[in-house]
Chains A and B, each alone.
Chain A
Amino acid sequence: MSSVLYDVPGPKARRVSLIGSVVGSLLILGLLAWIISTLAQQGIFEGRRWAIFTRADVWTLLGNGIGATLSAAAVAAVIAFPLGLLLCLMRISDLAAIRVPTRIVLEFLRGMPVVLMMFFVLLVFGTNQFIAVVAGLVLYNAAVFAEIIRAGIQSLPKGQREAGLTIGLTSFQSRMIIELPQAVRRMMPSLVAQLVVLLKDTSLGYIVAYGELLRAVQVMADFLGTQFLFPVFFVAAAIYIAINICVSRIAVWIERRGSKKAAGGVAKAEPEPIEAEVA
């Protein structure tokens, strides 16, 4: 698309574009340089501040933080996905008595901040922080998974379900054997994108004092002194972002792989799942 928006640049346009690129890069580099020099003036980059990374215990603490982050995300994802499937089936049930309450519950769960749910579980049920974080993540993401899969099922050609019913499957069998497998495959990119959201949301555990990566940073800063907050925060943020980018890349890879197989008529999702990719 973007290449259609403007002419194939000629020599003059290329020169203008090159100048634009250079000026733009210089501006951005200048801004970065200003940020770095301002920070450097305050002694942020002094060796002694960064020397703590030669200590093994600092890395142990960071490692524990990463472990806590990943384990909360993993447990939550493993529980949220089947729960999402179940909620999705209930949401599209033929029985209004199941469908309507499920819809209300889903709207409720999707409309609430995750951190509020974590806090709720923590205080109302008096659980430990890990369970509160996992429960908050599960409740929210199961609801989102349910909506994503439902969108996938609705995007299937009507004939799929009709064919299933025609050969004598019950409504439930048709859902399980015919529709769900296709829907899940179709929505794979959105589902993985939602996993990134889930992983990112583990950082909310910080707010309920769960010992994840960011909390580990805070603990270290309290323990070693605030002058180390900056380096430790930067390293932790870099690790967090790196992990997330890796998972996002997997999502992109799955999407590409899916669209290659689109000849089979199943894998390519409509350009719609943008909406699933929400914060």
Chain B
Amino acid sequence: MPESAHRGSGNRPPIFAPVRDTQPKDVMDVIIENLPLYWEGFLRTLFLSAVSGVIALVLGTVLAAARVSPVAALRGFSMTYVEILRNTPLTIAFFFAAIVLPRLGVKFEQFEVAAIIALSAYTAAFIAEAVRSGVNSVPVGQAEAARSIGMKFGQVLSLIILPQALRTVIPPLINILIALVKNSSVAGAFFVLELFGYGRQLANANGDAVLAVLLGVAFFYLLITVPLGILASTVERKVAIAR
């Protein structure tokens, strides 16, 4: 089970600390010394986010298509899935992946796999909702025109609606992916050594430089999220002009 955050006197430097360097270590040194760890965590976070993101995009689009399909069972399933997953706290999704999946015979060597499953299942629900809103934002005339020239459901959706919907949907999708990157930090609490996981270790190991250590972690997160955010608003502006 996930370990709890360690806190309290146990992690603070003891009062009668064993004699270390006479000079108190500069806080920046802690970051520079541990840059390889940060880098490794950063790559792991990127990896988790990328893999979960791709799975979630595919799954979410399929769910959105099911949601507007003529088959009632698919609609019902997609609706239930989205409703439940969207209202599930991510930590519970992780817990579920951690304690239920192994019992169903899903074996994973590392907890990373469970983290990817939890993250992508959770994110897919949000992507499905965003794509569905995008489908609804395409003017009805588009579907009517496509239908009137004899296209079938699959054709209408894949050739006419989805390509247009995707354009409106890209900014919200990027925002969901940003949330995914941030959400991957929950994996750090479940034994996956990504950015937050390493950050926690470093914070526990360097009780005197917690501030610097955590700001370092924050920096690496911002390195992913801020460019993505700028990308989202740029795309949004472009789409706004096109419409």
Partner-B contacts on A (CB < 8 A): 1-2, 4-7, 9, 13, 17, 20-25, 28, 35, 38-39, 42, 44, 107-108, 110-116, 119-120, 122-124, 196, 200-204, 206-209, 214-215, 218, 221, 229-230, 233, 236-237, 240-241, 244-245, 248, 271, 274-275, 277-279
Which B residues form the contact surface with A (CB < 8 A)?
Answer: 1-2, 4-5, 7, 67-68, 70-74, 77, 83-84, 86-92, 95-96, 99-100, 103-105, 122-123, 126, 129-130, 133-138, 140, 143-144, 147, 152-153, 156-157, 161, 169, 171-172, 175-176, 178-180, 182-183, 185-186, 188-189, 196, 199-200, 203, 210-211, 214, 217-218, 221-222, 225-226, 229, 232
Q: Which residues of B have CB within 8 Å of A28?
A: 73, 77
Question: Contact: A116 with B143, CB < 8 Å?
Answer: no
Say how far B146's CB is from chain A's closest CB, in angstroms. 9
B73 touching A25, Cβ below 8 Å: yes
Query: Complex formed: what's the CA distance from A178 to B158 in Å?
Result: 44
Partner of B99, one of A114, A229, A244: A229
CA–CA, A218 and B94, complex, Å: 14
Cα distance A107–B214 when bound, in Å? 17
Name 4 extra pairs, CB < 8 A, besides A124-B211, A229-B99, A244-B87: A21-B74, A113-B185, A196-B87, A279-B183
- Bound Cα distance from A44 to B100, whole angstroms: 10
**A209 and B95 contact, Cβ closer than 8 Å, known pairs A4-B143, A116-B217:** no
In the complex, A203→B183 CA distance in Å? 12
Contact of A17 among B72, B122, B133, B179 (CB under 8 A): B72
User: CB-CB < 8 A to B84: which residues of A?
Assistant: 241
Q: In the complex, are the beta carbons of A203 and B89 less than 8 A apart?
A: yes
List of B residues within 8 angstroms of A110 by Cβ: 225, 229
Taking a contact as CB atoms closer than 8 A, the residue among B72, B105, B147, B179 that contacts A278 in the complex is B179
Most buried by A among B95, B161, B179, B183: B95
B214: which A residues are within 8 A, CB to CB? 116, 119-120, 123-124
